[in-house]
Amino acid sequence: MRALPALLLAVGCLLAGCAAPGPRAPAAAPEDEACLRLFARVDAAVDAAGVRDALATRIAPFPYLRIDRLLASFREELADAAAARFWLARLARLDMEARAVELANLPPAAQHELAAVEADAPAHLAASLARCRARLVAADAADPARLAALREAAVVPDDYSVALRTLGLYPLTRIPFAAGVAAFERRVVDTFALPLDQLPVHGALTRWSPPDAPARAAPPPRIDDATANPLGIPEPDPETLAALIRAHAPVFEIDVVDDNDRIGRPRWPPYGPIVIDSGQPEVYFRTAHTRVGDRVLLQLVYTAWFPARPPRGPLDLLAGHLDALVWRVTLAPDGAPLLFDSIHACGCYHFFFPTARVGARPAPRSRDEWLFVPQRLPAPTNARVVLRLATRTHYLARVRFEPRTAAAPATAYALVPDDALRSLPHPAGGRRSMFGPDGLVAGSARGERFFFWPMGVTSAGAMRQWGRHATAFVGRRHFDAARLIDERFTVLATPADADH
């Protein structure tokens, strides 16, 4: 009974969002106060307009920097001043990119009001922020106390809600959820075990292929040639990166029953939530990185958007507006694929497709979702990956390679940077992100959220922005976790590794 008040207080804090006071930056020099006030005014305007970008996390005591999970993983590993300066520059770049999006998405009246307060033109506000950011970053790099405070503050919040798991009695409710996940995985394994010609077809098999697909791919460039920086993060030059993105872009082979099975272009209508124009087939790409051992590996991420996941019946809790498949390729230092994995844009259905160059680590003794491998793949040689998707659900049903010389009829899709979705034109004027300040896509909520909330995933089933994908209901797993691959796979020796 003595513990009851403390328990009630703890639950109350979880519901109210209580948290211990976070780290604070050391006091800024007087000449830097004006810069901090500028960032504070911009943040206030952005938040008042509801246009905060959720891709990277703001670092509250350092409003001119942002953090993602990869960079957060290095915060205790900055071996020298050069590594610290490079790390700071990457944090600053994340903030610069996010603020460009946020300022573009501000309503015109808010842009002019903010510029008027600063006695500057809207077009010059970004330059003022850049000058202030450079000044403050230099101060951080030169002051060990400021750098120590930054390293303490540079964390990315978990995308799981402790409050929801507490209220939902997670230690108990996860047991039936784990059984449901296992049953779903068994059904997927049965589907992948079918011969290709026996996979169900309810409509017409239709293919979309990348633009300008070459008949023969050039030898992949060595990515470790692009890691000459203090943290060893691969940064290929634009020409090399463009070649890699084209070379590894998948072919989508989809069982098309209606337009909901056609990939398309997200756009804002005059009224209502964002829609997918299936007359404009586009696939959105971005680069990412993962840490394996003492290396950082390059990843290529492709997302195809669909207008909807139609209901199978009146009680289909998984159906709803919009759907998307996310396909990721993890490249070895020699430029060849090590591993493929996929999710839907809700973070659901995380499938791994390892090649012979990696081996799976044993799962821990728990009910947690760890590693679901419905199919292993050979190491591709001058071949393009083909993704077979089911109608309506857009579940992956098979992954295969086919020769690049194959000339099956296909519609070409355009490859578009994923960051374009952070600021799209709106027919009513101005620009808007596809994603809300919480990283969710408005209008894409699913009925499953009313039943799945005890697992701690906010609005389970809703489409999400990059960096906001929790991929397990049982346990904790993030699609962009820096050590996700390293924790689950062993990379087998390769010539590139032997030279390292």
pLDDT tens, residue by residue, 207-219: 999 987 555 555 6
Q: Is the pLDDT of residue 495 over 60?
A: no
- pLDDT-based confidence at 432, cuts 50/70/90? very high
pLDDT of amino acid 17: 45
pLDDT of amino acid 4: 39
Cα–Cα distance measured from residue 246 to residue 112, given in angstroms and rounded to the nearest whole number: 40
Q: Is the pLDDT of residue 110 over 50?
A: yes
- pLDDT-based confidence at 405, cuts 50/70/90? confident
Give the angle subtended at the CA of 340 by the CAs of 68 and 221, to the nearest 5°.
85
Q: Mean pLDDT lowest for which of 360-364, 386-390, 480-484? A: 360-364
Residue entry with tokens 């029953």: 257
pLDDT of amino acid 408: 80
pLDDT of amino acid 497: 46
Contact 300, 260 (CB under 8 A): no
What ranges make up the beta strands (E) of 157-272? 204-209, 251-256, 265-267
Q: Is the pLDDT of residue 74 over 50?
A: yes
pLDDT of amino acid 6: 43
What ranges make up the beta strands (E) of 122-233? 204-209
Average pLDDT over residues 19-36: 69
Average pLDDT over residues 315-324: 96
DSSP per position, 419-481 = GGGGSEE-TTSSEE-SS-TTSBPTT---TTHHHHGGGSBTTTT--B-TT--B--SSS--BTT-
Element housing 199 (H / E): none
Average pLDDT over residues 309-328: 96
Which distant-in-sequence residues (6+ apart) come within 8 Å of 442 by Cβ? 273, 274, 436
Q: Mean pLDDT lowest for which of 19-33, 174-188, 236-250? A: 19-33
Q: Please provide the average confidence, as pLDDT, over all residues in the chain.
A: 90
Average pLDDT over residues 126-150: 94
> For residue 465, what are its two tokens?
């922005």
Q: Is the pLDDT of residue 167 over 70?
A: yes
Q: Is the pLDDT of residue 486 over 60?
A: yes
Contact 250, 415 (CB under 8 A): no
Q: How far is the CA of 292 from the CAs of 217, 224, 358, in angstroms?
A: 27, 13, 11
pLDDT of amino acid 29: 73
Cα–Cα distance measured from residue 41 to residue 23, given in angstroms and rounded to the nearest whole number: 21
Q: What are the two backbone dihedrals, phi and then psi, of residue 466, each rounded to the nearest 5 degrees?
A: -55, 140
Q: Mean pLDDT lowest for which of 160-164, 211-215, 470-474? A: 211-215
Higher pLDDT, 42 or 14: 42
pLDDT of amino acid 19: 45
Cα–Cα distance measured from residue 323 to residue 394, given in angstroms and rounded to the nearest whole number: 8
**3 state SS of 390:** coil
Strands 282-292 and 414-417: parallel
Average pLDDT over residues 467-496: 90
Contact 472, 281 (CB under 8 A): no
Average pLDDT over residues 420-430: 96
Average pLDDT over residues 38-56: 96
Q: Is the pLDDT of residue 108 over 80?
A: yes
The radius of gyration of the chain's CA atoms, rounded to the nearest angstrom, is: 23
pLDDT of amino acid 115: 75
Q: Is the pLDDT of residue 406 over 80?
A: no
Average pLDDT over residues 425-448: 97
Closest CA to 353 of 379, 383, 335, 333: 379
Closest CA to 206 of 410, 412, 415, 413: 410
pLDDT of amino acid 22: 55
- Percentage of the chain exceeding pLDDT 90: 78
Cα–Cα distance measured from residue 486 to residue 498, given in angstroms and rounded to the nearest whole number: 18
pLDDT of amino acid 374: 97
Cα–Cα distance measured from residue 365 to residue 399, given in angstroms and rounded to the nearest whole number: 29
